[in-house]
């Protein structure tokens, strides 16, 4: 939780003479936490709150960078930070403010750097350090360079350094954001949904149908996170009735629609959305995404993000219909193959 923006509600030593209140809130970045005290960096400086006086501690989204709806008012950099806990990795490294992730090559997100803030070193030296970190793991260095939607990586100072070093631009991704209430409200209805904190063998079996996976690494990446939930629609649970299928067409226990949710830094992140090709265009992904947004809302989370490749027309149309708006974008820049061991 250290590093997140929080609201720390705690008891006052004596009731406020003006209002009679016995509790007060401190809002700011949690910069330290030990057995006795929390230190919160506020606009007025650091405030120490004794754990003995604490009645509630809640992680809240970063401070808005501009006016407007909260899901669009967060800065590009803060959204990149908020997205960090939403996808897993096997190993995480730190270089100044930059965050490095590795997962034996499974997923681009799990094997890339989020270069937000300062690495604490000149850029070229920082890039060399990153390359060495990935080389030690048998992986090419890969950076997620972010900017406003439509930005070109060479407009970014780090992007220009990487392109000058022979890096190639891979898939371009859009960050979409929405209020959880809007997405929950776009539920077309449908068959029973299960939302579980456990990664079940059935969920994993369906996930393996959706993409190439790596035994053990995939499980670790999917489970990684403080608050992760696995959503599924499986045969049974009214699926055949809802879709007008004969029972034999909707048999078995392997889910036909999946999505994963991870909560961190006051935001929910949706990922791994997939519908079995035989069940597409029947509203299942919309129903499951809406139910996960409702789950996040019930957990006190107001904002949701997801990432979609900019050429995935089906997914973009699904998410836009549910109230998601384009917030920003990023592109993966990958080291030349000769640098990979």
Name the residues that contact ligand COA, by CB under 6 A.
257, 273-275, 280-286, 308, 312, 314-315, 317-318, 321
Least Å distance, CB 321 to ligand COA, is: 4
Least Å distance, CB 228 to ligand COA, is: 17
Closer residue to ligand COA (CB): 256 or 301: 256
Closer residue to ligand COA (CB): 84 or 95: 84
Beta carbons within 8 Å of 20's beta carbon, 6+ residues apart: none
Closer residue to ligand COA (CB): 207 or 274: 274
Least Å distance, CB 82 to ligand COA, is: 17
Closest CA to 312 of 135, 171, 163: 171
Strands 91-95 and 54-60, sheet pairing = unpaired
Strands 37-42 and 98-102, sheet pairing = unpaired
Beta strands in the chain (DSSP E): 5-11, 23-33, 37-42, 45-50, 54-60, 91-95, 98-102, 113-114, 142-147, 168-179, 194-196, 227-233, 257-264, 267-275, 303-309, 325-334
Least Å distance, CB 318 to ligand COA, is: 3
* Cα distance between residue 292 and residue 259, in whole Å: 8
Closer residue to ligand COA (CB): 71 or 282: 282
Least Å distance, CB 283 to ligand COA, is: 4
Closer residue to ligand COA (CB): 168 or 317: 317
Q: What are phi and psi of 92, to 5 degrees?
A: -125, 140
């Amino acid at each position: 939780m250290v590093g997140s923006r929080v609201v720390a509600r705690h008891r006052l030593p004596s009731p406020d003479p003006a209002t009679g209140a016995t509790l007060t809130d401190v809002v700011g970045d949690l910069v330290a936490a030990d057995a006795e005290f929390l230190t919160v960096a506020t606009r007025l400086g650091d405030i120490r709150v004794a754990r003995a006086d604490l009645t509630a501690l809640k992680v809240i989204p970063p401070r808005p960078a501009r006016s407007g709806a909260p899901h669009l008012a967060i800065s590009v950099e803060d959204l990149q930070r908020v997205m960090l806990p939403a996808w897993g990795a096997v190993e995480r490294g730190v270089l100044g403010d930059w965050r490095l992730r590795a997962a034996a090559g499974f997923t681009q997100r799990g094997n890339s750097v989020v270069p937000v803030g300062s690495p604490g070193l000149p850029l070229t030296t920082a890039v060399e350090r990153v390359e060495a970190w990935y080389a030690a793991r048998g992986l090419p260095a890969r950076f997620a360079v972010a900017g406003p939607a439509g930005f070109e990586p060479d407009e970014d100072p780090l992007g220009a350094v990487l392109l000058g070093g022979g890096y190639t631009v891979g898939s371009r991704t859009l960050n979409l954001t929405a209020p959880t209430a809007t997405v929950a409200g776009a539920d077309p209805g449908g068959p029973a949904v299960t939302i579980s904190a456990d990664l079940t063998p059935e969920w994993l079996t369906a996930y393996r149908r959706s993409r190439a996976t790596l035994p053990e690494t995939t499980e670790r990446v999917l489970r990684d996170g403080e608050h992760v939930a696995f959503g599924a629609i499986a045969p049974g649970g009214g699926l055949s009735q809802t879709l007008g299928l004969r029972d034999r067409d909707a048999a078995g226990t392997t889910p036909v629609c999946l999505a994963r949710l991870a909560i961190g830094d006051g935001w929910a992140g949706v990922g791994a959305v997939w519908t079995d090709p035989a069940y597409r265009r029947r509203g299942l992904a919309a129903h499951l995404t809406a139910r996960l947004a409702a789950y996040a809302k019930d957990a006190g989370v107001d904002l949701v993000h997801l990432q979609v490749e900019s050429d995935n027309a089906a997914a973009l149309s699904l998410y836009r219909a549910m109230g998601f708006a384009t917030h920003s974008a990023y592109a993966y820049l990958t080291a030349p193959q000769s640098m990979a061991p």
